[in-house]
Structure 1
Amino acid sequence: MRRFTAMPVWQFNAAASPTSELNPTLGVNLTNLEKNLPRPIDVLGTVKDLGTGATLGTWLQSQSPVPSRQRQYPQVGPATALALPTTATAKRLRYTLALNSRDIPRALPNDTIWRDVELNNYYAYDDGTAERYTALPAFATGQQAAFAYRFDLNKTDHVGGLRLYPVYTASDASTRPVTIAVWADDGGKPATTPLATKTATLPGTGPLPNGLPYVEITFDQPVPVTGMFYVGYSQPSTGRDLHYGLDINNSFPPGYLWNRSNAGAWDSVHFVPRRGALMMRPVMTNNVTTASASAREAAAYSLYPNPARNTVSVAGPSFARAAVLDAVGRTVWEQPAAQAGQPTLPLPPLAPGVYTVRLTLADGRTVGRRLMIE
């Protein structure tokens, strides 16, 4: 995509055109291992929906000779050559570039490259892998230091929470407090006063919630946003720097990452060298404004057996409907309308791992319960 590695599917669909969020230039440099022999080579770029297994079409298709005595040469095309479907279903799309190198044996192990694009319920500038980490300094006085990303909406929305990627070092093996916030725009920078904040304590070294490196902190009430807004986090003055993941293989548009000093001043920043994306991802709600149920209400529900295989039962008060989400928040099963509210959930075959059973209550609030699948 042109700006993101992932974005909410409804925000993608609300773009000015079906291709306006896609990158006009996409491709790689090919390396010629047979530098003295020009050979014809076929190049095919495709897009596949990993959820359905269907190939949606091609974004690049060409046949040309490999230039003689040229070690590297580019193969590029526009991602906009293929307009993606604007269905409401969340989807993971795989952009692939494959070479038919014919009778060049050394090329066979390296003849395909791919990149996934997630259209779900969150924004991301990173690809989910942390090659390095970064930190905010812990100040003894003044305001808390903060990082904030800028986002430009295609339609009004609500921020439900923020996913962070904490990295624990040998000197940082304990729980850590963190405050997430949403800011409105103030002349091209975050406003002084946030629209909403939420303080939480992240777990220390060891398994994180849902077994994931990302930890999601949810606002008590989804935060309405429109046009340009900012979302990020700050840390209290604990006397230690707290580290978060940095993806050095991706970046963000210039001027889209902001840092607040302990004097309260905002400045746009970048990482050195000029690549690197701080791994924080705002989760959007598509204008759903209901909040999660309280911790006491949520504690009234339990799942058994847990771990489970094909069927799991819900013990607790009545609920309106149920769904199962995978580790990255994608819905992998929803209770059919004819079974809505029934406590026994006949699950489809699911890969072993950690899932979340989301129960929607009669008033629209939700409860999440952790489920292990064997």
Structure 2
Amino acid sequence: MMSTNLTLLERKISNNLNCLYFVNHPVYRIQKDHQLVLAPEYGLAGNVTEIICDAQQRYHISFMARKEIVLTEKKVAKVTNNQLGQNTTQFLATLGYQLPTVQPLDDLTRPTTSTLLPSLDDLTEFPTDYTIIDCEFGALFQRSDTAKGVNWHIIESPGLRASIFQLSAIGFSHHTQTAPFFNRYFDNPNFLPDKKLAGLTETGLTTTAYEAQGAPLTILKAFIRQVLQPQLPLVFWDQTQDMKHIRLLLTHYYHQLTATEQQIVSRPVKIFDAQAYTNILINRGNHKTGSHDLPLNGLAALFNISNPRQHNAIWDVQTTELVMIKLAELTHQAPVITSIPQALTLPNNVVSAEARTEHVRTPSPTSQRASYAQVHQLRERGKTYREIAAATGFSISGVNYILKKARSIVTRSESV
């Protein structure tokens, strides 16, 4: 059986409203009265681009700005094609659905994430003037109000389980701080309340002021103006998630940007990934190719750099700069090549340290008798133990031993 292209799919969702996936449209939730409302958990996914049923009766749903979803047959309530070529309203009405009164912005004209801030080739050498960027994320939850209280359920949509909570950037020139200094917190209604409390604590703002500065569009416009407009190379410690979510947000709010802002976010950017650069240094000496994914604060600790506020974006930006300085120093150092291990060989005329020590510590019987006799002679002259020890080099306890326990040995030796 060959794969089949479909136009519409209704997905069963236990303990919640079903979802409607409709090609060339955003994802909808189906209300109990069959009214369609936009599904907030798919807010950054863009339009559905394709629905395919494969030979194993699995349904593949593709989107403009997120990974595809694969559903088994038991999770699907309805699938169909628009075989009659009806317009959207007629087609949905035939199936019993009602579109929202106010239609959302046409996502067909929205750019894809790959067209925003495109990076053709990442930098492999340290830039001299650059802006370091870091993001912290918050998990996305869906709130539901019940008679017993408020429940929060984590959003299980693949690729959209988190969004940017803190976006930070600092500019540097030759490792000296310059503009910008950017540190903003997103006020996302899908974050748990503790995220908002954390943001309020960090900023010291009132709730009203925090919500105003945390509006995503407000933050993105400031980010474009302060960070992207100067067109400096962008430095990350692992760009993967940071750039992905920055592009997703820019895609979602693209039509609310000015023409100038749209032009800025469509220009190519130069990216230096400091974590990826560590692989170059690691592989330089052993002539191998590998990816090691070293953690920022772990590597910083090896360089004796301590970050007291780990996983705070603005502090991680500063730590990235300190680590980059250390990496730059290593760049100019030649690798130390390990020499061939081999056993140590000594010439025949070289006596080991152990043998020399034993020789020093074990005097001959003749010299020993002479030393013992000297101790007795000094004692007979009325010298104290301390004076005898100073004159002979024996310890005080050694003098005591010779005078009391070794007397018979000395006497016999002298009588021979």
Range into which the TM-score falls when normalised by the shorter chain: under 0.3
Give the structure-1-normalised TM-score: 0.20
Which of the pair is proportionally richer in strand? 1
Q: TM-score, normalised by structure 2?
A: 0.19
Higher relative contact order (CA 8 A, sep 6+): 1
Please state which structure has a larger fraction of its residues in helix. 2
Structure with max Cα Rg:
2
